[in-house]
């Protein structure tokens, strides 16, 4: 209001008219219509395929119930603090994943660019899973499921019908025998080639399924939060209906008890293995969508006074509870399948695509009315992945629009931007639906959006907010005291108190300062030390150039942070101390906590002006036309 009044009071009224017209052309940024829209959007983003196909497998592999010990430690020291940090940052700044970091600490703007690079990779490859699930869903509308027998054109002589041969002596089976489920997956769906060097042709059926997935995704978000907020009422709740149905069906199957015991039976000795702790840490980062810019973008559409602290705690527990309950639905079915085949459960337990597209389809063929259970399962997968996908795209679009508001915040521009993103990602995604596309998919999954990249970003996020942010207001402080004082967390707590009316639990601040960076650094270093090159299906070794491509994708996000810091340091004028002081200064137009307003007014009265002004004008010239 004060800015508008100042412009109205300018002596040159003629210059104010075009600016008013220009403002009228700019569309409002928008806000969630209700708290429920925000909660469901975040729930849709964080509760995805990993809850169903990754957590249960990690739990059984890493000591059953004992795995919950490192999982809960990482949840309370890394998951919740980072989840809350990113959401509160978006709500405080009302900016997307890049400009939010520019506003609070310009030297760390590279964190935003790094998260958007990861998001770009996710937008290209995550939706491929939806195309596979759509293919299976359409294939389920048959009198006999196509993966239930070996009597299909794509089956080889080595195919053995598991249902009819499960109780035969293994010596009667061919040495390289395969199941009809594996052959349907590799030969019918993927058309898998010998390696990444032989991509083959595009699988046109998968390409059409991918196109359908992108069309659905586009119309879910094309109007911004107005459409996204309404769509999530269905997409975020429907998977729970499917999960409950599958859970009830699973626990009533013969052999379900053995599967659930296998899932939860504690093995405390596994806690001595560092890999168990590594798995717990990376699972938290994957399943909570941390360091991807999504939470910041979604939080930015909140009202300033929204109680994001309570929302974040509730959403974190909902996410972990969903993962835990999904394990009962999955392992009850795996227990049934192991009993039917008279084999140990360990032989049928899978994770990732192996669970979704081989193990579970095999299980539904053993159930009465198998087509129904197949449709329900793949519908659940589709909706679990769909809202994660379109919220991810929405977050990237939000970041771009906030970087170029003068260009994209006009009528029809958002829709065109989302269309451009969808078309580009679809065309790039066609590489992943070729006959050798699965090898490329694995590179994306293992390197581009790996736990190593997310941990690297997390370290800098907590350093920025916990130690650096907002330390320049005291003109007597030097840069060394900034780095050793840890006052950033106190300043951000003041901002949060201004938003929600009270200060959060002190443990979160301690985590930002000590536990989160310490644990993230330890797991990051361990992931580098224990690095093992990717092998597809634990057998195919990629050529050297394949690993180079993978590491280039991983480094493409991580280098954004140091490269941007160096760039902006060189771009800013003044001595090194002056530049560093300017580059850690938050934007003047950010909301100020009431307790700081009196002190700030006094400083301004004495002639002080915020040193960040010059830097912000530099960075704005970089991104505003």
User: Tens of pLDDT along 230-276?
Assistant: 899 998 999 999 889 989 988 998 889 988 988 888 888 888 888 88
Please report, for residues 234, 305, 431, 494, 600, the alpha-carbon distance to residue 474 in angstroms, rounded to integers and kept in the order given.
50, 27, 54, 16, 10
CA atoms within 13 A on the CB side of 535: 7
DSSP 97-159: TTHHHHHH-GGGHHHHHHHHHHHHHHHHHHHHHHHHHHHHHHHTSSSS-TTS-S-STT--TTB
Which phi and psi (to 5°) does residue 384 adopt?
Answer: -65, -45
Angle, helices 308-341 vs 238-251, to 10°: value is: 40
| Whether residue 33 has pLDDT greater than 60 | yes
Number of other CB atoms surrounding residue 274 within 10 Å: 13
Q: Work out the end-to-end distance of the chain between its first and last CA atoms, rounded to an integer number of angstroms.
A: 25
Which pLDDT belongs to residue 13?
Answer: 42
| Whether residue 457 has pLDDT greater than 50 | yes
Residue % of the chain over a pLDDT of 70: 86
Number of other CB atoms surrounding residue 28 within 10 Å: 7
| Whether residue 616 has pLDDT greater than 50 | no
Which pLDDT belongs to residue 619?
Answer: 42
Question: Is residue 352 very low, low, confident or very high in pLDDT (cuts 50, 70, 90)?
Answer: confident
410-447 residue pLDDT tens: 888 999 999 999 999 999 999 999 999 999 999 999 99
Measure the CA angle with vertex 204, ends 202 and 206; round to 5°.
Answer: 95
Please report, for residues 31, 93, 220, 318, the alpha-carbon distance to residue 34 in angstroms, rounded to integers and kept in the order given.
9, 19, 18, 19
Which residue in 179, 623, 189 sits closest to 408, CA to CA?
A: 623
Distance CA 101, CA 561 (A): 11
- Report CA Rg, the chain: 26
Sorted by sequence, the CB contacts under 8 Å of residue 425 that are 6+ apart come out as: 123, 124, 127, 214, 393
Over range 440-469, report the average pLDDT. Answer: 92
The three-class DSSP label of residue 304 is coil
Which pLDDT belongs to residue 96?
Answer: 93
* In 572-611, alpha helices (H): 576-583, 594-605
Query: For residues 611 and 390, is the Cβ–Cβ distance under 8 A?
Result: no
Highest mean pLDDT among 138-147, 349-358, 556-565: 556-565
Q: Which helix (H) or strand (E) holds 540?
A: strand 540-541
Sorted by sequence, the CB contacts under 8 Å of residue 505 that are 6+ apart come out as: none
Residue reference for tokens 């909660």:
39
Residue % of the chain over a pLDDT of 90: 52
Number of other CB atoms surrounding residue 447 within 10 Å: 22
Q: Which helix (H) or strand (E) holds 541?
A: strand 540-541
Measure the CA angle with vertex 52, ends 164 and 460; round to 5°.
Answer: 145
The three-class DSSP label of residue 163 is helix
Distance CA 345, CA 336 (A): 9
Length of the chain: 625
284-295 residue pLDDT tens: 988 899 999 999
Q: What is the pTM of this model?
A: 0.87
Residue 568, classified by CB atoms within 10 Å of its CB into exposed (0-12), middle (13-18) or buried (19+), is buried
Sorted by sequence, the CB contacts under 8 Å of residue 136 that are 6+ apart come out as: 189, 357, 361, 374, 378
| Whether residue 395 has pLDDT greater than 90 | yes
94: alpha, beta or left? (left if phi > 0; alpha if psi -120 to 50): left
């Amino acid at each position: 209001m004060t800015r508008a009044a100042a412009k109205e009071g300018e002596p040159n009224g003629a210059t104010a008219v075009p600016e008013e017209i220009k403002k009228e052309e700019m569309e409002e940024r928008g806000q969630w219509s209700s708290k429920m829209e925000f909660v469901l959007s975040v729930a849709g983003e964080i509760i995805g395929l990993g809850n169903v196909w990754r957590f249960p497998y990690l739990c059984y592999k890493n000591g059953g119930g004992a795995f919950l010990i490192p999982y809960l430690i990482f949840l309370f020291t890394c998951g919740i603090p980072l989840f809350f940090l990113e959401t509160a940052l978006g709500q405080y700044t009302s900016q997307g994943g890049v400009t939010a970091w520019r506003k609070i600490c310009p030297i760390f703007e590279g964190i935003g660019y790094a998260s958007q690079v990861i998001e770009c990779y996710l937008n290209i490859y995550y939706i491929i899973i939806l195309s596979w699930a759509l293919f299976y869903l359409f294939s389920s509308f048959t009198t006999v499921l196509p993966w239930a027998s070996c009597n299909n054109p794509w089956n080889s002589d080595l195919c053995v019908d598991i249902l009819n041969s499960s109780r035969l002596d293994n010596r009667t089976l061919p040495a390289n025998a395969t199941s009809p489920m594996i052959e349907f997956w590799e030969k019918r769906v993927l058309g898998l080639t010998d390696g990444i060097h032989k991509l083959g042709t595009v699988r046109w059926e998968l390409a059409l399924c991918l196109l359908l997935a992108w069309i659905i995704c586009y119309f879910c978000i094309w109007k911004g939060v107005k459409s996204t907020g309404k769509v999530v009422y269905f997409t975020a709740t429907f998977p729970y209906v499917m999960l409950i149905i599958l859970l009830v069906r699973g626990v009533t199957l013969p052999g379900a008890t053995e599967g659930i015991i296998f899932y939860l039976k504690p093995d405390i000795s596994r806690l001595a293995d560092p890999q168990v702790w590594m798995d717990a840490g990376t699972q938290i980062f994957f399943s909570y969508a941390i360091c991807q810019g999504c939470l910041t973008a979604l939080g930015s559409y909140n009202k300033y006074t929204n109680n994001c602290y309570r929302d974040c705690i509730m959403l974190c527990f909902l996410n972990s509870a969903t993962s835990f309950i999904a394990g009962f639905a999955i392992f009850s079915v795996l227990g049934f399948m192991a009993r039917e085949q008279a084999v140990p459960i360990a032989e049928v337990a899978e994770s990732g695509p192996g669970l979704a597209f081989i193990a579970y389809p095999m299980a539904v063929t053993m159930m009465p009315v198998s087509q129904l259970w197949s449709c329900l399962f793949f519908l659940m997968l589709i909706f679990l992945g769909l809202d994660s996908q379109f919220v991810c795209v929405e977050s990237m679009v939000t970041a771009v629009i906030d970087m170029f508001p003068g260009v994209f915040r006009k009528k029809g521009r958002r829709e065109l931007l989302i269309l451009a993103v969808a078309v580009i990602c679809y065309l790039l995604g066609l590489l992943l639906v070729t006959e050798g596309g699965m090898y490329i998919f694995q590179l994306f999954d293992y390197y581009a959006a790996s736990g190593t990249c997310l941990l690297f970003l997390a370290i800098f996020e907590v350093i920025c907010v916990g130690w650096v942010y907002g330390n320049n207001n005291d003109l007597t402080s030097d840069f060394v005291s900034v780095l050793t004082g840890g006052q950033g967390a106190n300043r951000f707590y003041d901002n949060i108190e201004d938003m929600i009316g009270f200060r959060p639990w002190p443990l979160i601040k301690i985590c930002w300062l000590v536990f989160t960076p310490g644990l993230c650094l330890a797991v990051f270093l361990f992931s580098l030390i224990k690095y093992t090159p990717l092998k597809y299906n634990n057998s195919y070794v990629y050529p050297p150039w394949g690993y180079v491509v993978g590491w280039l994708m991983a480094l493409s996000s991580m280098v954004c942070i140091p490269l941007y810091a160096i760039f902006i340091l060189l771009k800013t004028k003044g001595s090194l101390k002056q530049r560093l002081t300017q580059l850690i200064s938050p934007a003047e137009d950010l909301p100020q906590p009431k307790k700081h307003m009196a002190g700030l007014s006094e400083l301004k009265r004495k002639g002080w002006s915020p040193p960040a002004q010059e830097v912000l004008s530099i960075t704005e010239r970089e991104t505003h036309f």
